[in-house]
Amino acid sequence: MKIAVDAMGGDNAPEAIVAGVERARDEFLDTEFILYGDRSQIDPLLHKTERITLVQADEVIDMNDEPVRAIRRKKNSSMVLAATAVKKGEADALFSCGNTGALLAAGLLLVGRIKGIARPGLVSTLPVVSGDGSFNLLDSGANADGKPEQLYQYALLGKYYATSVRGIENPRIGLLNNGTEPHKGSKLTLEAHQLIAADDSINFVGNVESRDLLDGVCDVVVADGFTGNAVLKAIEGTASSVMHLLKDSIMNAGIGGKVGALLLKSSLNQIKAKMDQSQYGGAVLLGAQAPVVKAHGASDSETVYYTVKQIKSMIDGQMLPKFTEYFSAQQAAAAKKDDQPEG
Amino acid sequence: MKIAVDAMGGDNAPEAIVAGVERARDEFLDTEFILYGDRSQIDPLLHKTERITLVQADEVIDMNDEPVRAIRRKKNSSMVLAATAVKKGEADALFSCGNTGALLAAGLLLVGRIKGIARPGLVSTLPVVSGDGSFNLLDSGANADGKPEQLYQYALLGKYYATSVRGIENPRIGLLNNGTEPHKGSKLTLEAHQLIAADDSINFVGNVESRDLLDGVCDVVVADGFTGNAVLKAIEGTASSVMHLLKDSIMNAGIGGKVGALLLKSSLNQIKAKMDQSQYGGAVLLGAQAPVVKAHGASDSETVYYTVKQIKSMIDGQMLPKFTEYFSAQQAAAAKKDDQPEG
């Protein structure tokens, strides 16, 4: 498998990208990489070029660029060149730590949608705090306005993702709602609930509330991109605020408090590790013709390594062929149904 | 001022309600209360009946009752009798720790809307974790489907609320969105942004993201009720999960960890106090013809006391007359505009 990497995206590029890719290359012997970026910066960082190809990119899309315009105008940027390679079939997946909006636009406009998918959705992975494991949330921000049919497709996409990448045989799918009762919800979630519940191939656990997500009420949470994004950021922000509050409180607690913190060090580190998302890799645009993967802008080499591992799971797990097969069969069935005379 | 209290709502009713009301009665000498509920349960709990009237209610609306049906059928329930007293002008505010949906229905159907308000919104109060103070979030769940004009009205309602109850002269109003840039958002938030930004009487700080709310980016956060509810519950759930994780981690950390926890006890208690919402009182249905206030089902007497204090601020701060004056002036201006010939 070959992965096209935007080597210039993110706060720690290209150092963290190159280091993470080299670690992954050394461990996963069936992976090859094309790194797009500034050769003069990347070359000195590379220990060996085995299974790594460098392609010069003269431009970089930065965090302040307007996404769609950047994709259209910065034709020689590391991100656009990497996306174009995937589009042409020269690589199997696209990976960047850069501008999220631009990467989503590159996924939609350059890599393209799978036939039958209305709107690809962004899937994020979060920790289950009260136990082991993690859960997926999609759409976590690709589309600000959701439709019931899209939420239904997210349930299907999430199911294949959890199966392929996380090895969960029959993942529990929940619909994010403002109450667990089936009659609760907005116009959007009430209709989406019906669609998802009607599909027997989905292990639907019904409505779930955002306060229960970290307890692991389901494996995949389906939401419209606006709410999904708001919930994702509320979880991240709250976890970070509480941890900061704890830190400040310890700093101001005098000698006794500092000794206490030392004695509790391993406990505090465990919590930090649990909340740390680097091991979960990046967010994936599901429904694009190849994995389009965005890791956090602040990613270090470890996150880059884990994200490559995650991409490898998607490819090894045959996620894309499964998507394509499923949605083209669905389309064919729908077309056949439309052709039949009524009654 | 006279407050109608549903003495039977919530997990700790009627004990916590009676104790909280008595404490408030002793402290706030201008308050009177009508307690609705089962006399045989309430009577033995009351220390003195000064400024407290008991009214027998034969029924209770419980947590499993379907809200609108319960309000229509349980005519002799403590909640319906209390709401009816407010509707008739026999009391100035309605307070319950019971079924949220039923209380919202009682507010809309019995107490009624202020003329000119499309949909009353539920305002919640949350702590600013990284500093002092708190912020308000509305709509935190009264209406699952929001419209731009409703979000604009929430901005106005939130402004008067923060001014009256929290004494903030020119509260900073933010619009919950999936990015801070003005061009970001859903169809709903893009339109709402325009409406709020066009009103010079609002101190609009623009779009805010859910990850920054606990840092105090603004005093009032405006959202549609679906997203507001999801964000509120995500914040509550995450704070609770992280605190539990910390507790479990300490329990499993052996002797050293337990000594550390003892030394850090005051720090940990500070954090708990900060995240504890009881001091902020209840959620208020803004836009109803009187304060309709819901405290948490698990409220203890302290929360009940603080909620009475909060209700007193609304009445002392003339919040309702201000609402009524503002929205009827707006309506009159709109009607006048409609009457004028074009051009």
Span B1-117+287-343: which CATH code? 3.40.718.10
Q: Give contacts of B271 with chain A, Cβ < 8 Å.
A: 242, 245-246, 249
Mean pLDDT of A29-47: 97
Rounded CA separation B102/B60 (Å) = 11
Q: Give contacts of A176 with chain B, Cβ < 8 Å.
A: 230
> Is-contact A82 A53, C-beta < 8 A?
no
Mean pLDDT of A144-165: 95
Cα B255 to the center of its chain, rounded Å: 43
Domain locations along chain B: 1-117+287-343
Tell which of B263, B269, B270 to mutate to test the A interface (max A CBs under 10 Å). B263
Show the tokens assigned to B75. Answer: 């005519």
Rounded CA separation A163/A160 (Å) = 5
Closest CA to A289 of A326, A316, A324: A324
Instruction: Name the minimum distance, in Å, from the CA of B67 to any CA of chain A.
Output: 11
Q: What is the pLDDT of residues B191-228, one digit of tens each?
A: 999 999 999 999 999 999 999 999 999 999 999 999 99
Mean pLDDT of A46-64: 96
Show the tokens assigned to B233. Answer: 């519950």
DSSP secondary structure letters along A222-279? E--HHHHHHHHHHHHHHHHHHHHHHHHHHHTSHHHHHHHHHHTHHHHHHHHHHH--GG
Rounded CA separation A4/A325 (Å) = 24
Neighbouring C-alpha atoms within 13 Å toward the C-beta of B212 = 15
Instruction: Name the minimum distance, in Å, from the CA of B210 to any CA of chain A.
Output: 5
Q: Smallest Cβ distance to A274: which of B209, B245, B256?
A: B245
Show the tokens assigned to B34. Answer: 């009508």
Q: What percent of chain A has pLDDT over 90?
A: 76
Question: Given an 8 Å threshold on Cβ–Cβ distance, is A237 in contact with B210?
Answer: yes
Q: Smallest Cβ distance to A227: which of B215, B227, B266?
A: B227
Instruction: Name the minimum distance, in Å, from the CA of B326 to any CA of chain A.
Output: 30
DSSP secondary structure letters along B79-117? HHHHHHHHHTTS-SEEEESS-HHHHHHHIIIII-BPTT-
Lowest mean pLDDT among A199-208, B39-48, B127-136, B288-297: B127-136
Environment class of B253 (CB within 10 Å of its CB; exposed 0-12, middle 13-18, buried 19+): buried
Pairing of strands A134-138, A220-222: parallel
| Edge-to-edge order in the sheet of strand A203-208 | A52-56, A32-37, A2-6, A93-96, A292-294, A283-286, A121-127, A134-138, A220-222, A172-176, A203-208
Q: What is the pLDDT of residues B288-305, one digit of tens each?
A: 999 999 999 999 999 999
Neighbours of A201 (CB within 10 A): 10
pLDDT band at A343 (very low <50, low <70, confident <90, very high): very low
User: Which residue type, as a one-letter code, is found at position B221?
Assistant: V
Q: Is the pLDDT of residue B74 over 70?
A: yes
Instruction: Name the minimum distance, in Å, from the CA of B225 to any CA of chain A.
Output: 9
Tell if the pTM clears 0.90, that is, is over it.
yes
Q: Smallest Cβ distance to B235: which of A144, A227, A234?
A: A234
Q: Is the dihedral of CA B93, B94, B97, B103 positive or negative?
A: negative
Question: Given an 8 Å threshold on Cβ–Cβ distance, is A211 in contact with B257?
Answer: no
Mean pLDDT of B28-42: 98
Q: Give contacts of B230 with chain A, Cβ < 8 Å.
A: 176, 178, 209-210, 223, 227, 230-231, 234
Q: Smallest Cβ distance to A230: which of B129, B176, B215?
A: B176
DSSP secondary structure letters along A182-203? TT-S-HHHHHHHHHHHT-TTSE
pLDDT score at A126: 93
Q: What is the pLDDT of residues B229-243, one digit of tens each?
A: 999 999 999 998 888
pLDDT score at B139: 97
Instruction: Provide the β-strand partners of residue B285.
Output: B122, B292
Q: Is the pLDDT of residue B343 over 60?
A: no
User: Which residue type, as a one-letter code, is found at position B69?
Assistant: R
For residue A14, cis peptide bond before it (omega within 30 degrees of 0): yes
Q: What is the pLDDT of residues A215-235, one digit of tens each?
A: 999 999 999 999 999 999 999
Tell which of A104, A175, A178 to mutate to test the B interface (max B CBs under 10 Å). A178
Q: Smallest Cβ distance to B238: which of A209, A229, A239?
A: A239
Question: Given an 8 Å threshold on Cβ–Cβ distance, is B257 in contact with A242?
Answer: no
pLDDT band at A262 (very low <50, low <70, confident <90, very high): confident
Rounded CA separation A217/A204 (Å) = 12
Question: Given an 8 Å threshold on Cβ–Cβ distance, is A145 in contact with B262?
Answer: no
What DSSP state is assigned to residue A3? E
pLDDT score at A342: 53
